[in-house]
Each structure stands twice: as C-alpha cells, then as structure tokens.
Amino acid sequence: MKTLLSGALLVVLIFSMTAAAQFAPPPGYSVFWTTNLASASAETHASGTAEYMGYKPNLSRGTGNVVYRFVATCEYVGPVSNYSVDVFVGPSATPDAPYGKFIGKMRIEGGTGILALVGAKVPVIHHGSTVNIVDDGKLIMKGTFE
C-alpha cells in the first residue's frame, strides 16, 4: 500500500511539473499575454487576436533592456480590400475617446489585417486593458486582456 501511494504521488508530481513547464513563458520573457478579438455584432464573423509581450533580447550576456511588442491580427473583416481600420487600447479615460487611446491603423487586404508595434510605440497594457478595432467610427471587434 505504501509503495502504491508513493508511486501515485510521484506520478502526480511529474504531471504537475510538466504542466507548469508547458505554460511557463520562454526564458527571457517577462510578460506574454494574449486575448481573442471577437466580432462586436452578429452581422459579421470577424475574429482575431492581440498579443502583448515583454522580453530581454540579450539573454546570453544578461544585459539589455526589456523590449515590448504588441501585435493585433484580424480575419474575415470584410470582402473589401485596400482600406484601413483604427486600433485602440483602453479602457477609455474620457468621453471624447470612447474606445480608448488610438495606437495605429491596420491595413486590410482580402479581409485580413495586422498591426505590429515594437519598442516605444507599444501602449502600456495591464490586466483588464481592452483592444478595440473600429471601422469608420463603428466598433467591429473587441477583446480584453485578462
């Protein structure tokens, strides 16, 4: 009985260590958050993701500053190509900016678009920050970092 209990405890310990290793960020990463962007209305089937990452690029020498990266991607935005949508990060602090702070324009080609920011252009992101994709003043996609 003691051997069976010890064996079961060992198996549980090994699986818990494996699970922790699978979900830990890669070495050098200090922050890695992702959120799904969902369509804001039932009329469209747009979807996408937003990622926020902070990392030390110079791991071998232990020097270098933390570099931040923000990437938002969208799919199935619409059949129209060659136009741009606005990307905002919130929550909004004032009624004048209902979607939050404008961070850039995402170019849409064939219903797909991407906005990538690195370094000083990356907005400050916290748990609870929102990402809003807006087309001509109308919210079309949204997500929250949780």
pLDDT score recorded for residue 43: 74
pLDDT score recorded for residue 62: 53
Residue-wise pLDDT for 5-62, tens only, equals 344 443 333 444 433 333 445 555 678 889 999 988 877 788 899 999 887 766 555 5
CA distance 87 to 123: 11
What are the φ and ψ backbone dihedral angles of 6, each rounded to 5 degrees?
-65, -40
Q: Which two tokens stand for residue 110?
A: 């064939």
pLDDT score recorded for residue 143: 94
Mean pLDDT, rounded, for 58-67: 63
- The answer to whether 66 and 53 are in contact (CB under 8 A) is no
In sequence order, the β-bridge partners of residue 31 are 54
pLDDT score recorded for residue 8: 42
pLDDT tier for residue 105 given thresholds of 50, 70 and 90: very high
Return all residues near 110 (Cβ < 8 A) that are at least 6 apart.
Answer: 81
pLDDT score recorded for residue 7: 42
H helices present in the chain, as ranges = 2-23
Give the residue from 53, 56, 55 showing the smallest Cα distance to 33: 53
* Total-model pTM: 0.73
Q: What is the CA radius of gyration of the chain?
A: 20
Question: Which domains, from first to last, does the chain contain?
Answer: 26-144 (2.60.40)
pLDDT score recorded for residue 21: 38
CA distance 128 to 46: 22
Distances (CA, A) of 93 to 20, 97, 98, 113, 140: 37, 7, 8, 27, 20
